[in-house]
Amino acid sequence: MDKYVYFSLPHDLSGDTMLPGTTMLQRCLLLGFCFVLGTIVSPVTAQRGSSLISPTEANRFGLERIWFTRVQFDRARGRIAHVRQHVSSKHGYTVHEVLSARGRTVITDRDLDRFGVPLGKEGAEKQANRLVQQLTRSGIDAEIKTQVLPEITIYVVSDSGVVQAIDGETGRTRWSRLVGSARFPTDAPGSNDDFVAIVNGTNLYVLDQATGSIAWRRQTRGAPGAGPAVSDELVFVPMIGGTIEAYSTSDGRQPPWVFQSRGRAVVQPAVAGTGVAWPTDQGDLYVAEANLTGIRYRLETSRPIVARPTPLPPSRIAVVSTDGYVYCIHESSGSLLWRFSTGEPISKPAVAVEDALFVVTDDDNLFRLSTETGFEQWWAPRVREVVTASKNRLYCLGDTGRLIIFDLKTGGRLGMLSTDQLDIRMVNYQTDRIFLGSSTGMIQCLREVGAEWPTIRAGGLEERPEKEKDTAAEDEPAPADEPAPAATPDPFGTGAPAAGGAESPVDPFADPFGSS
């Protein structure tokens, strides 16, 4: 029954025996109906099979599928447009592992009791202790290993305006909501630990991350050029005209702070440490305060920048340009730490994994660079995009649409998984999970065999930002021949809200270092 539908007919229609009253026309219509139904069911079944990687195929490469889910939208009228991940810095859950000679039992505060209510932190701890006591009374030694894992959420946005929040470890849908109108474009979402921001047309929606309810909505002043970025206090929306509108996350009624940048802002900004960075098609990278108002500096390149900046914790930013260079700058002072030339245009964001920075050029060449020095460590051809990495492996999309597995340290090819039927591949630099899917609505998550708990690289409870604004500046003092960051004049004014709806006069071409 994999490809065809069979019917058991009362008589052989090819013979002389017929049902009473059955005419030749009725027999032809019945055969035609069977043929049409078979042609409909067969492609659907084939499509369903190609949307999921089989367990046997995954196990060949040391992988296993931990969940898959169908995104809740009308597939006849929409497709998946964006997939983003958020690793919380303050929301998490506790895991208790009870280890004994009988095996291993996992109890979390998300487990349900017999009444269908979550155990909670205290309930899970009591249940784990009760199990240890039972094993001890039976003469079996047992111990408890406890760890706290951050809440991981996958936000899936369709081009019809449906936003769905999915638990990154279980695949369970937390909430789903329709925002805006399907007639208007919906950009990629931005999020922090409390809110999710979505732009539909010229309307900005800020949702509660826990429930999906709309906290507030308002119309932007300009025409948005890309999705927003969300810091602890502000939502940054880039505009096609070059301005950045910054709204308070807690109160959308407040007028936005408006910053002017040279060129068009059509790339989603990125929050990096205590700053927020966005590029323009004029080849400039701007960095402003993430939770205050004021632009810090501007980095100029010779060609347009069309990729999101990449944060390099704790205090650096990497940005790639179509001029073929990779730039690494200090997040607070703006001083150039190093740059590397690939000799080819770069349109995809760099991906940071531990002490390595992976860059893919427009000619499908992959470079591994040192985040400290910018030196090339290895190179591989025929790679279109970096997907994610584990402790020892790097997973990339090849030029044939297959998932290529590299040795993370040496660049040697370890295998190639067939994923050419999957057109959704989320770039994941925060954890070691592999998220694949199809634009028609199927999302699946793979992990390496034995990697039951995710490896957290960016964000997470252990990296919750608690440092003050000046801490990052102390990591990398300003060069002696340049003025200190505090003395650097703001080339764009204060960025105060415009009076009467008009933008404040600013000078987008002033020298950020104050030279004449």
pLDDT in tens, 315-326: 999 999 999 999
Rounded distance between C-alpha atoms, residue 309 and residue 304, angstroms: 13
What's the pLDDT tens digit per position in 18-67? 444 556 655 555 555 545 444 444 333 333 445 789 999 999 999 999 99
175 plus 31 within the same structural domain? no
Query: Can you list the residues of the chain whose pLDDT is less than 50?
Result: 1-20, 34, 36-49, 463-516
Are 186 and 158 spatial neighbours (Cβ–Cβ below 8 Å)?
Answer: yes
By three-state DSSP, how is residue 393 classified? strand
Which tokens in the block code for residue 263? 């060129």
For the residues of 80-144, what is the DSSP string, one character each? EEEEEEEEEEEEEEEEEEEEETTEEEEEETTSB-TTS-B-HHHHHHHHHHHHHHHHHHTT--EEE
Domain boundary among 148, 168, 184: 148
Cβ-count burial 81-96 (b if 16+ within 10 Å, e if not): bbbbbbbbbebbbbbb
How close are the terminal C-alpha atoms of the chain, in Å?
A: 78
Q: What is the CATH number of the domain that holds 315?
A: 2.130.10.10
Q: Is residue 500 part of a domain?
A: no
Q: Is residue 481 part of a domain?
A: no
Rounded distance between C-alpha atoms, residue 372 and residue 504, angstroms: 39
Q: Is residue 475 part of a domain?
A: no
Domain boundary among 99, 123, 148: 148
Rounded distance between C-alpha atoms, residue 442 and residue 296, angstroms: 42
- According to DSSP, residue 57 is labeled H
Domain boundary among 107, 124, 148: 148
The tally of domains found in the chain comes to 3
State the pLDDT at residue 342. 97
Q: Is residue 351 part of a domain?
A: yes
Q: Is residue 490 part of a domain?
A: no
Name, in order, each residue with C-beta under 8 angstroms of 300's C-beta and a sequence gap of 6 or more.
283, 284
CA dihedral 131, 135, 136, 138 (to 10 degrees): 140
111 plus 194 within the same structural domain? no
What is the helix (H) or strand (E) element at residue 48, kind and residue range?
A: helix 24-51
Omega prior to 314 cis, within 30 of 0: yes
β-pair type (190-191, 173-178) = unpaired
By three-state DSSP, how is residue 338 classified? strand
Domain of 261 in residue numbering reads as 65-89+149-463
321 plus 421 within the same structural domain? yes
101 plus 84 within the same structural domain? no
State the pLDDT at residue 256. 94
State the pLDDT at residue 32. 58
Q: What percentage of the chain's residues is helix, strand, coil (to nearest 5)?
A: 15, 40, 50
Q: Is residue 477 part of a domain?
A: no
State the pLDDT at residue 293. 79
98 plus 239 within the same structural domain? no
142 plus 155 within the same structural domain? no
Q: Is residue 198 part of a domain?
A: yes
State the pLDDT at residue 29. 58
74 plus 121 within the same structural domain? no
Q: Is residue 296 part of a domain?
A: yes
State the pLDDT at residue 126. 92
404 plus 459 within the same structural domain? yes
97 plus 163 within the same structural domain? no
What is the helix (H) or strand (E) element at residue 391, kind and residue range?
A: none
140 plus 281 within the same structural domain? no
97 plus 240 within the same structural domain? no
369 plus 322 within the same structural domain? yes
